Structure 1
Amino acid sequence: MIRSSYTFTSESVSEGHPDKVCDRISDSILDLFLSRDPVARVACETLATTNRVVLAGEFRCKDEVSDQEIEDVVRSAIRDIGYEQKGFHWENVKITNLLHEQSAEIAQGVDEGTGTYAEEGAGDQGIMFGYAVDETPELMPATIYYSNEILKELARLRKTGEQPDLQPDAKSQVSLQFENGVPVGSNCVVVSTQHSDRVSVGEVRDIVKPVVESILPEGWLPKDEDFYVNPTGRFVIGGPDGDAGLTGRKIIVDTYGGAAPHGGGAFSGKDPTKVDRSAAYACRYLAKNVVAAGLAKRCIIQVSYAIGVAKPLSIYVDTQGTGQVDEAKIESVLHEVMDLSPKGIRTHLKLNQPIFARTAAYGHFGRAAEADGGFSWEKTDLVEILKNHFS
C-alpha cells in the first residue's frame, strides 16, 4: 500500500554527463550495425575520459563495418552532444576500438534452430521490470519526468544558442511532496550545470530558475532556500574531462527514477536480442497499457528469462493496491495480448531498426510524442483489447 504522506526524489543527468556520453556512443554504434543488418548482434561498452574514448565488446553483422566508419560515428555523437572543449573535443579525441566478433557459444543459444532449443532464445538470463503510474499524462513517475524535462529544456536553450554560456554536462534532482499517493508540490530542486568561465554562479541561477519554473506545475517552484543551482560553486570543467564515464551506469536515470524496481541490466549498446533491453521495453509497454485501460492507477510488471530459452520463465503483476481487477487475471491475459519471446517482442515493437541513439539521454520511457522519440513501447494500442478482456 502507498503511504498517505511522503516526499520522494528522482534525479536525471544530461546527454553531456560522462556516462551518458558513453551511452550515446554505444547506442550510435548499435544503430550503425543495425542500419547494415537488421539482425546484427551488438554488445558495445564505452569508456570516456580526458580526450580519450575506448570501445570494447562484440558484434556480428552480415555486412562489413569498417573501423573508420565506427570512428566517424563516435566523433559525430560527441559533436552532436556539443563537446568542443580543450579536454574533450569531437575532432581531437583519441579513439581505441577493441570491438571483436561475437562468441559462437552465445550465438548458438540465440540463433533460431542452432542451440539446445529450436526456437530463438533469450540473449541472457535475468529479470526485467516495467512500470506505469497515472501521476503524469505520460504515465510516468512525476519526479523523474520533471527531472528529465528540466534538462531537456536546458539542452534546447544551449543548442539553439539562446543560452550560449550553458555547457553540455548537467544534473537535476526533484523532490516532490505526495499526499494520498498524489504529487501536490515540490519540496526541493537541485540543478547543477556546466557553464562557460565568463558567467558567475548567480548568473547561472538566473538562467536556470525560469526554466525550472516553466517545467514544474504552477506554484510548485520551491522556496529560494530549497532551490539549489550549482551548490558547489564553479562548474566549468565537466564531461569526460572532469570525470570518467562508462556505458550503463545510469540505469535508474534511464528508467523510473527509483520509483519502481530495476532488474539491474543496462540498456545502451545492446541489440534487442538482449532481453535486458527488449523485455524491459515490453514490460513498460504492457504496464502502460494496463494503466491507460483503467485497470489500475499503478502497475509493476516483472518477467524473467533463461539464456537460450524463448518463453519467459515467469510473469508477475503488482498494482500496489490500486487494481480494479485481480492481478492474477492480468498476468494470464498478458500472454494473450503479446508474444513475450525475444523474437515476439522484437517483432511486435519493431526493434530491429536503428532507433536507439535517441534513447540514450533523458530516459527510455515516457516519450510517446514523435518529437521526443515516438517509441513503439510508449503506444497505448492494447487498451481496447485489455478493456474487452475485463468488460
Structure 2
Amino acid sequence: MSLYPKNMFFTSESVTEGHPDKFCDLISDTVLDECLRLDPMSRVACETYVTMGLVIVGGEVTTKAIFDVAELVRELGNDVGYISPEYGFDVNTGAIARTIHRQSPDISLGIAKKGGKIGAGDQGLMFGYACNQTKELMPMPIMLAHQLARKLTEVRKTKVLPYLGPDGKTQVTLEYQNGKPVRADYVVIAASHTSAVVTPDGKFTTEEAKHEIIEKVVRPVMGNLMDKQTKITINGTGKFLVSGPQADTGLTGRKIIVDTYGGWSVHGGGAFSGKDPTKVDRSAGYMTRYIAKNIVSAKLADECLVQLGYCIGLVDPVSVMVNSYGTGKISDEALSKLVRKVFPLSPQGIIDHFKLRRPIYRNTAAYGHFGREGFEWEKLDARDELLAQFSKV
C-alpha cells in the first residue's frame, strides 16, 4: 500500500528567495537569528508584510537583544537583490516600519515550567515524512522544484542571465509508473525580468530569453527525466516584467507546502519562519521529519509519516502516530512505541537535541526546510538506536 496510486502524475512547486512571501520568511527568520545571536533565550514570533514600497515587521518578541531592524532588513534586501524599482522594490529607499511587542504573559506561563522544563508554546499537530524516492529521502517533485528555484537565483546572481529579477516560481509535474517517478511531463517557470528581454510590442518575454532559461536552468536540473513529450512553459501569461512586492503582497508563513513536502505529504497547518524553537509548529515539525527520515534510512519502512500532537503548556506530546503505509517491518503501533523510546519529544528535549537556540534560521527560510544538508534534523544518527530497539521487539 502506498500514499498515492501507482500510476499517476504529481505536481509540486517552489519559489525563489525573492518571491514576496519568501522574502518575508527570510526577513522574519533574520530577525529571529539576530535575537538569538544576542540573547539565546529570546522568545520570538515575528511576522513580516511587504507591499509596494513598504515593509512592516511585527509580532511578539521578548528579548534582551537590541538592534536596528530596518538596517537588518536593508542588508537582507540587498543580498536578495531588491535594489531597484525595476525589480518591484528598492529596499534602500522603501519604508520599513516596526510594530513589535512582548509575548503574551499567558503564553509565557505555559512555556516556563518548574524545574527548568519547557511546555509547548502552542497547541497543534505536526507531520514529518520521508520516502526512498531520492537520496535525500524526499518526494522527487518538490526536490526538483527547489533545484530549479535555486538555479534561477544562481544564474541571476552570477550574471549568466543578468536580465532576471529576484522574483520567481517553479513547478514540476512527474509521471509515476508502478509507484516510481519515470519522467518529467511538465515544467513551469515564472521568471521575472527587466525590459531588456521584452518583445518590441511590449507583450511577451522574448523567445531568445525563454530559450536561455530552458538551456541554463531547466535542462541542467531536469536532465534525462525530460523526453520529447515533456512540455515546458516559461512565463505563461506572456511576460513577467512587473514583479516582486510591486505585483504581489508578501506575508510570512504563506508558503508552508513549499517549505515542507510539496503537497505530497500531510501538513498540520503551522508555519515555521519567524518562530523561536519553543513554538512546536517549528521544532516538532523538524523532529517529525528527523524521525521519519531515520526510520526509512534504517530500512524499517520504505515510506513513513509521523505525527506529533501537543497541548500548550504541557511538556509531553498528547499523541504519537506512525504510518508506514504497509511498508514497515513491524506494525505501525510498534513503530510508534519505538519512537517514544528512542526520540526526545518534549520541547526542551527537541531544542537540546537539535541545538535550536542558535542563529541558524535564515538558512532554512528559502528552498525548503527538509532534504538539505547542514541541518541537525536531517542527520541519520538515530538509526543505530532504532535498530537496537527494533531487535528487542
TM range (shorter): over 0.9
Q: Quote the offset at 1:32 in angstroms.
A: 0.7
Corresponding position of 1:142: 140
Corresponding position of 2:285: 280
Q: Quote the offset at 1:221 in angstroms.
A: 4.8
Secondary structure of 1:218's counterpart equals helix
Mapped to 1, the partners of 2:252 and 2:365 lie a distance apart of 10
Letter of the 2:148 counterpart: I
Q: Quote the offset at 1:181 in angstroms.
A: 1.3
- The answer to whether the Cα contact below 8 Å between 2:271 and 2:282 also exists between their aligned partners in 1 is yes
Secondary structure of 2:224's counterpart equals coil
Q: Quote the offset at 1:236 in angstroms.
A: 1.3
Mapped to 2, the partners of 1:16 and 1:367 lie a distance apart of 19
Letter of the 2:219 counterpart: E
The RMSD of aligned alpha carbons is 1.4
Taking only the aligned residue pairs, the percentage that are identical comes to: 46
Mapped to 1, the partners of 2:275 and 2:122 lie a distance apart of 11
Distance 1:376 1:227, change over 3 A: same
Distance 1:289 1:81, change over 3 A: same
Distance 1:109 1:222, change over 3 A: farther
Is 1:328 aligned to 2:329, yes or no?
no
Corresponding position of 1:106: 107
Mapped to 2, the partners of 1:4 and 1:144 lie a distance apart of 18
Mapped to 2, the partners of 1:354 and 1:222 lie a distance apart of 46
1:259 pairs with 259, 264, 267, which one?
A: 264
Corresponding position of 2:221: 215
Mapped to 1, the partners of 2:84 and 2:268 lie a distance apart of 36
- The answer to whether the Cα contact below 8 Å between 2:111 and 2:313 also exists between their aligned partners in 1 is yes
- The answer to whether the Cα contact below 8 Å between 1:303 and 1:315 also exists between their aligned partners in 2 is yes
Query: 1:99-248 to 2 correspondence within 5 Å?
Result: 99-113=100-114, 119-200=117-198, 201=205, 202-210=207-215, 211-221=217-227, 223=229, 226-248=231-253
Q: Quote the offset at 1:217 in angstroms.
A: 4.0
Q: Quote the offset at 1:108 in angstroms.
A: 1.1
Give deviations 1:16-49, integer Å, cap 9, x for gaps.
Answer: 1110011000000000100011111000111000
Mapped to 2, the partners of 1:216 and 1:384 lie a distance apart of 35
Letter of the 1:265 counterpart: G
Mapped to 2, the partners of 1:264 and 1:384 lie a distance apart of 32
Q: Quote the offset at 1:272 in angstroms.
A: 0.5
Q: Quote the offset at 1:113 in angstroms.
A: 2.0
Q: Given the two structures, how large is their TM-score scaled by the length of structure 2? A: 0.94
Corresponding position of 1:352: 357
- The answer to whether the Cα contact below 8 Å between 1:286 and 1:334 also exists between their aligned partners in 2 is yes
Distance 1:199 1:221, change over 3 A: farther
- The answer to whether the Cα contact below 8 Å between 1:55 and 1:96 also exists between their aligned partners in 2 is yes
Secondary structure of 1:216's counterpart equals helix
Q: Quote the offset at 1:247 in angstroms.
A: 0.5
Q: Quote the offset at 1:207 in angstroms.
A: 2.2
Distance 1:82 1:221, change over 3 A: farther
Mapped to 1, the partners of 2:49 and 2:209 lie a distance apart of 30
Mapped to 1, the partners of 2:265 and 2:93 lie a distance apart of 41
Mapped to 1, the partners of 2:117 and 2:380 lie a distance apart of 29
Structure 1 residue runs of 5 or longer lacking an equivalent are 369-373
Mapped to 1, the partners of 2:176 and 2:182 lie a distance apart of 6
Mapped to 1, the partners of 2:287 and 2:360 lie a distance apart of 16
Mapped to 1, the partners of 2:225 and 2:102 lie a distance apart of 55
Mapped to 2, the partners of 1:91 and 1:180 lie a distance apart of 53
Mapped to 2, the partners of 1:311 and 1:219 lie a distance apart of 44
- The answer to whether the Cα contact below 8 Å between 1:212 and 1:221 also exists between their aligned partners in 2 is no
Mapped to 2, the partners of 1:45 and 1:313 lie a distance apart of 28
Distance 1:181 1:309, change over 3 A: same
Secondary structure of 1:198's counterpart equals helix
Corresponding position of 1:22: 24
Corresponding position of 1:371: none
Is 1:94 aligned to 2:95, yes or no?
yes
Corresponding position of 1:390: 390
- The answer to whether the Cα contact below 8 Å between 1:213 and 1:221 also exists between their aligned partners in 2 is no
Letter of the 1:378 counterpart: E
Letter of the 1:389 counterpart: Q
- The answer to whether the Cα contact below 8 Å between 1:189 and 1:222 also exists between their aligned partners in 2 is no
Q: Quote the offset at 1:219 in angstroms.
A: 4.2
Name the count of aligned residue pairs.
Answer: 379
- The answer to whether the Cα contact below 8 Å between 2:128 and 2:289 also exists between their aligned partners in 1 is yes
Give deviations 1:93-148, integer Å, cap 9, x for gaps.
Answer: 1011001111211111101329xxx8320000000000001101001100000000
- The answer to whether the Cα contact below 8 Å between 2:131 and 2:296 also exists between their aligned partners in 1 is yes
Q: Given the two structures, how large is their TM-score scaled by the length of structure 1? A: 0.94
Q: Quote the offset at 1:388 in angstroms.
A: 2.1
Structure 2 residue runs of 5 or longer lacking an equivalent are 199-204
Distance 1:222 1:253, change over 3 A: farther
Letter of the 1:185 counterpart: R
Q: Quote the offset at 1:267 in angstroms.
A: 0.5
Q: Quote the offset at 1:279 in angstroms.
A: 0.2
